[in-house]
């Protein structure tokens, strides 16, 4: 693929790839980094890109995979301790999976701003000050929003 063809086929898709990355990462800077990583990867494999039939779909798939890799790097893996392996009865395991499903559905019902703060605080383990530095909100506002989100989650769970 020539440089000119690369610029006419792939560069116009940049905004689409950014939207995919932002949807997955929920952070502007991380999404921009993921798109930049995508274009570096595409550039390195430009000799084989003529074989791609649908550049938009192919690029979206690549950026999605890059975002998943980025999320995995941010989420530390916790080793299973020997005392936990094989101890939960199957019915408890099933109940835990159902509860997780209910919680995830309830999370989807939260407003976007609260969902993002809950993910940052509860899932990524960031402190209110760290979230404030990342979002520009005050730590007190974050604390209030997370508290409201927890109450909503509890209401959704009870319903």
Residue 18 pLDDT more than 90? yes
**How many of the other CB atoms lie within 10 Å of CB of 109?**
11
- Per-residue pLDDT at 58: 92
- Per-residue pLDDT at 159: 60
So where are the chain's domains? 3-74, 90-158
CA–CA separation, 31 and 19 (whole Å): 8
Q: Regarding predicted confidence, which is higher, 144 or 123?
A: 144
Residue 146 pLDDT more than 60? yes
pTM: 0.49
| Cα–Cα nearest to 53, from 63, 43, 64, 61 | 61
Residue 86 pLDDT level (bands cut at 50, 70, 90): low
Q: What mean pLDDT comes out for the span 137-153?
A: 87
- Per-residue pLDDT at 36: 95
CATH fold for domain 3-74: Rna Polymerase Sigma Factor; Chain: A (1.10.1740)
Q: What mean pLDDT comes out for the span 16-37?
A: 91
Q: Regarding predicted confidence, which is higher, 48 or 125?
A: 48
- Per-residue pLDDT at 71: 85
- Per-residue pLDDT at 152: 83
Residues 6+ apart with CB under 8 A from 140: none
Residues 6+ apart with CB under 8 A from 127: 121
Q: What mean pLDDT comes out for the span 138-148?
A: 89
Residue 97 pLDDT more than 80? no
- Per-residue pLDDT at 17: 93
Cα distances from 135 to residues 52, 95, 101, 120, 139, in angstroms, run 38, 35, 28, 10, 10
CA–CA separation, 139 and 144 (whole Å): 9
Span 90-158 CATH architecture: Orthogonal Bundle (1.10)
């Amino acid at each position: 693929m020539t440089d000119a063809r690369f610029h006419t086929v792939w560069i116009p898709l940049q905004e689409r790839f950014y939207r995919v990355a932002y949807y997955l990462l929920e952070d502007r800077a991380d999404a921009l980094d993921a798109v930049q990583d995508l274009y570096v990867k595409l550039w390195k494999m430009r000799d084989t890109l003529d074989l791609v039939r649908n550049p938009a779909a192919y690029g979206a798939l690549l950026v999605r995979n890059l975002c998943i890799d980025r999320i995995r790097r941010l989420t530390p893996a916790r080793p299973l301790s020997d005392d936990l392996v094989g101890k939960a009865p199957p019915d408890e395991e099933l109940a835990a999976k159902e509860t997780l499903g209910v919680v995830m559905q309830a999370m989807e019902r939260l407003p976007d701003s609260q969902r993002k703060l809950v993910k940052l605080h509860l899932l990524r383990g960031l402190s209110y000050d760290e979230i404030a530095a990342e979002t520009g909100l005050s730590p007190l506002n974050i604390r209030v929003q997370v508290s409201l989100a927890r109450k909503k989650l509890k209401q959704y769970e009870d319903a």
